[in-house]
Copies of this chain bind each other. A is one copy, B any other.
């Protein structure tokens, strides 16, 4: 079974052992393979809609939620957890709150690269590589002031929910580093996908 997670900036595949990346154009190579996928990328829809053996997992995910328009990747990911703050740190950082098996809501924060661009769009003086500080240490120069601005407010909010924190996604390790009791697993989304595929016998 091949799993595929198509995000804003490309696709990731998982074959049960390895994870690898492909561009949207690279999806063509897998046209005749049996692939179970989630996709939030509008441009990718046009490419994969004719791949006869590809199965969209999203409609099979079950999640009790009042959130309108929840991204299908968030829906699948959250359905894997009963309780906690679920963080997916990719090109955007999504934060979702699960309680007793119900999705209470969530929010979207720009990813670390997008935040960096936000600073440079304001002034050349803010075009610095952010220096991330340990919690409670306040910044004392511009690189630290940007590093603090990118991460500390987000970490403050995540902690304020007083729940176990589960982190995944490409920038997840940076967040994990500053959240002592959080659990990080880069495979959470694929594990969630696999669990649905097996339960619903999709592939």
Interface residues of A (CB under 8 A from B): 8, 40, 42, 66-69, 71, 91-92, 95, 97, 104-111, 114-115, 117-119, 121-126, 138-142, 144-146, 148-149, 152-154, 156-157, 160
Contact = CB atoms under 8 A, between A and B. Distances in A.
Contact of A114 (B92, B107, B121, B141): B121
Name which of A69, A92, A126, A141 has the most chain B CB atoms within 10 A of its CB: A92
A4 to B, nearest CB: 18
The 7 closest A-B pairs by CB, nearest first: A105-B138, A153-B153, A110-B118, A107-B148, A118-B118, A156-B156, A109-B149
B160 A156 contact: yes
Q: For the complex formed by this chain, how many copies does it contain in all? A: 2
A154 B160 CA distance: 12
B68 A109 contact: no
A123 B157 contact: no
Contacts of A142: 68-69, 108
B69 A124 contact: no
Contacts of A148: 107-108
Contact of A140 (B105, B117, B122, B152): B105
Given A117-B121, A124-B42, A125-B40, A104 B138 contact: yes
